[in-house]
Amino acid sequence: MSIILEAKKVSKYFGGLKAVDEVDMSINSGEIFGIIGPNGAGKTTFFNMCSGVYSLTRGGIWLSNENITGMRSERIANKGLARTFQNIQLFKFMSVMENVKIGFHVHTKTNVLNAILHTSTYRKDEQFVNRRALEIVEQVGLSPYKDTMAGNLSYGIQRRVEIARALALDPKVLLLDEPAAGMNPNETRDLMLFIKKLNKDGYTIVVIEHDMKFVMNTCDRILVLNFGKKICEGNPDHVKNDPLVQEAYFGKGLLTKEADT
C-alpha cells in the first residue's frame, strides 16, 4: 500500500498558541481516514495547512511523495487534493449543475476575454465542463436535482453537491470538514453510505467529524488531536479503547455509548 498524503512534524502557531504541534500523519492510498478531537483541538487548522489555506510554522506535507509545503491552495488542488469546508459554501441561487461546473475552473484555460469573445478555447472548455459535470452529478446520485436551485435542497443533499463540486477537481484525496454537521440521523446514515461508495470508486478520503457513530463506522483509521497534539492513532477499536482518548476527549464511557449504538 502506498502513502498518498503525509505530514511530518507539522506545526501551526498563532502568536503564543500552538494550534497544531508537531503532528505526524501518513495516509495510505484507498483509506478512509478520520481526524477527531474536542472543539479547538486543531483539526481544521491541520486541514488548512494540508490544503494550502494556511502556511506552516514548522514541518512539511507531501502529496504522492511530492513536497507541497508552502504551495498555494489552487496549485495543491490541481495536484489532486480537494476539500470541503465546515460551513456549506454553495451558490444558493444557482442550480446543482451550475454549482458543480464552478468546481472546474482550475482545469480550464478560459479567461474573461475568451468568454466574452466566445473563442474556440471557451467553447471547448464549455463542452468539456458540461459533459464532466453531468457525469459527476450522475455518479453521486444527484441527477434528479440537477436543475434545482441549491438553496431549495435539503441539508444532506446540499452537502452532497459540495462534495460533487470538489470531485470536479478530479482529486486523488478528498478532505471533508465535518460533513455530517447539522444532519439528522437519516441524512448521516445516507452520508456514511455515500462516502463508502466514493471510497470504493477510488477516492482516498480524510474526514474531520464530531459524530462518533459516523467516525467509528466509516473510518479505517483515526487520528486523535487534543490541544494541537496527536494523542492517539489507530483503528476504531484501538481509539475507542484508548484510556487517553477516553479521558482527555470524551469523558469516560461516552465514546463507547455513542459509537456502539
Q: How far is the CB of 38 from ligand ATP (least distance, A)?
A: 7
For 70, the grid coordinates are: 508552502
Please identify, using beta-carbon distances, which residue of 40 and 141 lies nearer to ligand ATP. Answer: 40
CB nearer to ligand ATP: pick between 153 and 239: 239
Residue in 197, 133, 141, 196 with CA at minimum distance from that of residue 167: 133
Shortest Cβ distance from residue 20 to ligand ATP (Å)?
7
Nearer to ligand ATP, 44 or 99 (CB): 44
Euclidean distance between CA atoms 197 and 200, whole angstroms: 5
Q: Return the beta strands (E) in 53-210 as ranges.
A: 58-63, 66-67, 81-83, 173-177, 204-208
Cβ–Cβ < 8 Å for 76, 167: no
Q: Considering the complex, what minimum distance in angstroms separates the CB of residue 192 from ligand ATP?
A: 19
Q: Which positions touch ligand ATP (CB under 6 A)?
A: 14, 17, 19, 37, 39-45
Q: Which amino acid is at 259?
A: A
Task: Give me the least distance between CB of 185 and ligand ATP, in Å please.
Answer: 20
SS3 of 261, please? coil
